[in-house]
Amino acid sequence: MQTTSGFDSYRISSTGAKARQRTPSQRRNPCRLAIAALSLGALLLMAACEKQEEAPKPGPPEVGVVQPLQENVPVYDEYVAQLNGPVNAEITPKVQGYLLRQVYQNGYFVKQGQLLFELDPRQYQAAVDAAKADVAVAEANLARTTADVARDTPLAAQSAIPQKQLDNDIAFQASWEAQLKAKKADLANAELNLGWTKVYSPIDGIAGVSNSQVGDLVGTNTKMATVSQVNPIWAYFNIAESHFLEVAPQISNVIMGKITPEQAGGQPIEYIQANDQPFPAKGRFIYVNRQVGTQTGTIQMAAEFPNPDALLRPGGFGKVRFQTGVSKNALLVPQAAVIEVQTDYQLIVLTPQNRATFRPVKVGERVGTNWIITEGLQPGEKVVVDGILKVQQFAAAAPELVKEGIPVVPKPYAPPTPAAGMTAAAGSN
């Protein structure tokens, strides 16, 4: 049987105690290793960020370019116009009376001589009856005096009666003849007044809304309605005196009767309606005012348009458009290529080195989807149409390149077709 001494027991117990005392430190060693690893990873990450290369700068933008078209283009002038009828008849009764009936319907067509209103005729019928009675009295007295003259004429010749009596008979006869004429005139006037209790349209046209209601007392100062002639209809507009002087010789020859408007060779006039749609019928110049407006420096003119369906109405606004000349060898670019900066205009034009430069230009009339460039562009130069925003953004990022030009990659510009645009819109929906 093996025994253990006391010394050995002490040594063993001391060794176990020391082992138990080393255990906490041994547990802390893995934590220290993890912290060191994380610190090393952070240092490596910071070093990688410092060594990371900068993002590459964007390359030259791709743009669509065109060369300007050069062709003879008709030049048109447009002016704001207001429509009105050649005749606007104010319907005013010629007698006073109470309105009994409105015969027409507001806003409808009426014919010349069509009954519009009817006034109370009773007092005027009474005046006609009284006038007829006065005429009858005058006729009876004239018949009596005529008989007196016929009877007394032979008696006076035989000196059977005084000559003065015959003279009186003749005077009475002449007096009643005059009174009969006056009474007949009174009768005619009374009949006119009776007839005027019925108010008729003086022209063919559209009758406006009545200003008078049944039962109103109307008179010679009452504007009951307006009838406007609408076929043809006139479009009034004002042009500058300087423009008028360009055509003044032809106008003077027409108004003086030396030539007809057809001989003057006037261009047909187009009317653009308020919805920007052209009116189907073409018009012609019909009126020039006698004077230039002292306040505006313009002169009023009018063009006449056939309007059988009354599509155009008095008071409507639109524009008249007519050709004033031809711009020969005009340069045209798409309207999308023109940059408007307040009242100025610019184009982006390419240099032979394919660098885009901003160039101020002067523009003329719009022709369809194109714009006439009158100054600042030469034939054969390339103009940016598609990608203008890309060039502007590149110029904002690199302003030092604006003077010498922004490098671009040009490609031929292909305008979108309506079908393609509709397809794209349908796809986006």
pLDDT at 359: 92
CATH assignment of the domain containing 393? 2.40.420.20
Residues 98 and 208 grouped into a single domain: yes
Segment 78-102, tens digit of pLDDT: 899 999 999 999 999 999 999 999 9
214, 98 Cβ separation under 8 angstroms: no
Residues 402 and 314 grouped into a single domain: no
**Residue of 221, 222, 229 lying closest to 88 (CA atoms):** 229
Residue 190 has pLDDT above 70, yes or no: yes
Q: Which residues contact 107 (CB under 8 A, 6 or more apart)?
A: 206, 207, 208, 209
81, 236 Cβ separation under 8 angstroms: yes
Answer with the residue of higher pLDDT: 257 or 346.
346
Residue 322 has pLDDT above 90, yes or no: no
Residue 16 has pLDDT above 90, yes or no: no
Maximum Cα interatomic distance, the chain, rounded to a whole number of Å: 218
Backbone angles phi, psi at 82, to 5 degrees: -125, 135
Residues 284 and 371 grouped into a single domain: no
Q: How far apart are CA 269 and CA 77, in angstroms?
A: 10
Residue 2 has pLDDT above 60, yes or no: no
What is the overall mean pLDDT for the chain? 84
Residues 273 and 308 grouped into a single domain: yes
Domain count, the chain: 4
Residues 69 and 110 grouped into a single domain: no
Q: 125 is written with which tokens?
A: 């019928």
Q: What is the CA radius of gyration of the chain?
A: 51
339, 348 Cβ separation under 8 angstroms: yes
Judged on CB neighbours under 10 Å (0-12, 13-18, 19+), 245 is exposed
pLDDT at 253: 80
Backbone angles phi, psi at 134, to 5 degrees: -65, -35
Residues 318 and 337 grouped into a single domain: no
227, 201 Cβ separation under 8 angstroms: yes
321, 305 Cβ separation under 8 angstroms: no
Residues 299 and 281 grouped into a single domain: yes
Q: Is 127 helix (H, G, I), strand (E, B) or coil?
A: helix
Residue 4 has pLDDT above 60, yes or no: no
Q: How far apart are CA 41 and CA 201, in angstroms?
A: 103
Residues 207 and 101 grouped into a single domain: yes
Residues 333 and 404 grouped into a single domain: yes
Residue 324 has pLDDT above 90, yes or no: no
In a domain, 248, yes or no: yes
Segment 113-129, tens digit of pLDDT: 999 999 999 999 999 99
Write the Ramachandran bin of 156: left for phi over 0, alpha for psi from -120 to 50, otherwise beta: alpha
Residues 242 and 176 grouped into a single domain: no
Q: Give DSSP secondary structure letters for 124-137.
A: HHHHHHHHHHHHHH
Chain centroid offset of residue 130 CA: 59
CATH assignment of the domain containing 150? 1.10.287
Judged on CB neighbours under 10 Å (0-12, 13-18, 19+), 384 is buried
pLDDT at 377: 92
Domain boundary among the residues 325, 341, 374 is at: 325
Strand 88-91: give its sheet, edge to edge: 88-91, 225-228, 205-207, 109-110
In a domain, 54, yes or no: no
**Domain of residue 112, residue span:** 92-120+200-220
In a domain, 32, yes or no: no
CATH assignment of the domain containing 207? 2.40.50.100
Segment 345-364, tens digit of pLDDT: 999 999 999 999 999 999 98
CATH assignment of the domain containing 252? 2.40.30.170
Residues 215 and 232 grouped into a single domain: no
Helices (runs of H) and strands (runs of E) counted in the chain = 6, 22
pLDDT at 260: 75
Residues 320 and 233 grouped into a single domain: yes
376, 386 Cβ separation under 8 angstroms: no
